[in-house]
Amino acid sequence: MGIQNDIVKFNVGGRIFQTTATTLANADRDSFFGALFDDNWDLKQPINGREFFIDRNPDCFAVLLDLLRTGDLYIPSNVPERLLYKEAMFYGLIGHVRSAKRGPFDGNRLKLSKPVTGRAPGDGTAIRAGPDGGCCVAYGSMVHVFDWMLEEHPPLNLDYQRVNDIGWVNAESVLISACERLGRGDSGMGLFSSYTGDLRYKFNVVHDNQIKSYTAGALCFSPDYKIFASCKGRSNEYGIGVWDQVTGKQIDFFYETPGWSLGEADKLQWLNGTTCLLVATLFPRKDNCYISLLDFRQKSTVWSWSDFGAPLTVDEKRARDAIAMEDCNSVCVVNEYEDLGFIDLRISGRSVRWSSRSRLMKGKMPDEPCYPKLALHNGQLFSSMNDSISVFCGPDWVLTSRLRRSYGGSICDFSIGGDRLFALHSEANVFDIWETPPTPVI
């Protein structure tokens, strides 16, 4: 055995570190260390026994060097997390830190990462997870944007109108739907930069070549770069508007038919792999529930379901949220007792098949009820109810986990994305972040 010749000596902020080119090769090509070495991971400029000086924090460097050595992230208490992220950004190792911090999302392994308290009055409307682990939260007329490090970006507002829904078009843009501003045609929806908070576009609704003011409700995006929104106009222009994400221009409008609600829909969902949009208007926004599947190619309703005219039973069950399942064969609904029900999408006129296995809390209502919400992620079904979120798995949707935190009041909205679950609480101005811990290292 000879003398190892790939040893590299660093002087970081006055502290000496010694490591090997092999260890540093675990960093990306696209990193500070990648730039130091050539394609064979030999130093581009030999330093002949001298150390390589870096004017950075040595404590953070130690943590990051260990990350490269072991693949494990351990942050000692004397190192602020924020500072470590900054340093990781400098070296171009932020991707390493992120993947070391959390594992792939699994509803049954979630751990509460941290609660985040905002400064807005406790009037949360919606929370949406961003594609890269950040989120945006709507409080009244303001939308607060956080990146994955939970650094807050400049807040967004659309003429300070009340926000109804928000959504991430991509990692850089957030869409806001808001209440109409009387007498102004340019209200409704706006697309903002998530970094700078700048307004990029406003989205107009045009009827008979006239721009109309409208209130935009639920939002949804399709993979072919379209934006869908439920719209309530001033003069009965109710329905679903369609816009192009790239140009911001309106490209279609689906008017609702009398006796059927589209313009006040609570939820829009694009069915991937089909050409259909699910539109659900639910109690208590309307007295009855209306769920329909729209095909925009022929402007037709290809499937619909409503509880209008159905006899009221003793234990009144009304759908409070609806979601199309991932196989697009059925719609899942949830009532105020967190009973899950399923409606077959392949045949029209089917009734709800309530699932008894997931019934949980018959008649046990808290003082201030919160309407349940549903979400799907990788074959797991999530349902929020009061102050907890239930996770259902398997073909029969068996309850497998429950996420609950003791304070903050009921969960008024939650969202999954970027390997995280965000839950917005209605009382205290706080949202929780749930993450899957990284896979344990043997």
Q: Which residues bind other proteins (CB under 8 A)?
A: 30-32, 35-36, 44-45, 52-55, 89-90, 92, 172, 195-196
Nearer to other proteins (CB atom), residue 30 or residue 367: 30
Phi, psi of 268 (to 5 degrees): -120, 145
Q: What is the dihedral of CA 224, 334, 370, 360, to 10 degrees?
A: -140
Which two three-digit tokens encode residue 4?
């190892």
Nearer to other proteins (CB atom), residue 32 or residue 260: 32
Nearer to other proteins (CB atom), residue 36 or residue 293: 36
Nearer to other proteins (CB atom), residue 36 or residue 289: 36
Residue 27 Cβ, how far from other proteins at the closest point, in Å? 12
Residue 195 Cβ, how far from other proteins at the closest point, in Å? 5
For the chain, the straight-line distance linking the first and the last C-alpha, in angstroms and rounded, comes to 30
Residue 86 Cβ, how far from other proteins at the closest point, in Å? 9
Radius of gyration over alpha carbons of the chain, in Å? 26
The residue among 149, 135, 155, 243 whose CA lies nearest residue 197 is: 155
Nearer to other proteins (CB atom), residue 195 or residue 308: 195
**Are the CB atoms for 146 and 435 separated by under 8 Å?**
no
Measured CA distances, 152 to 118, 318, 432 (Å):
10, 38, 15
Nearer to other proteins (CB atom), residue 146 or residue 371: 146
Residue 273 Cβ, how far from other proteins at the closest point, in Å? 30
Calpha distance 25→8 (Å, rounded): 12
Cβ neighbour number for residue 372 with a 10 Å cutoff: 23
Angle at 176 between CA 172 and CA 180, to 5 degrees: 155
Nearer to other proteins (CB atom), residue 156 or residue 340: 156
Residue 52 Cβ, how far from other proteins at the closest point, in Å? 7
Residue 172 Cβ, how far from other proteins at the closest point, in Å? 7
Calpha distance 48→53 (Å, rounded): 13
Residue 323 Cβ, how far from other proteins at the closest point, in Å? 33
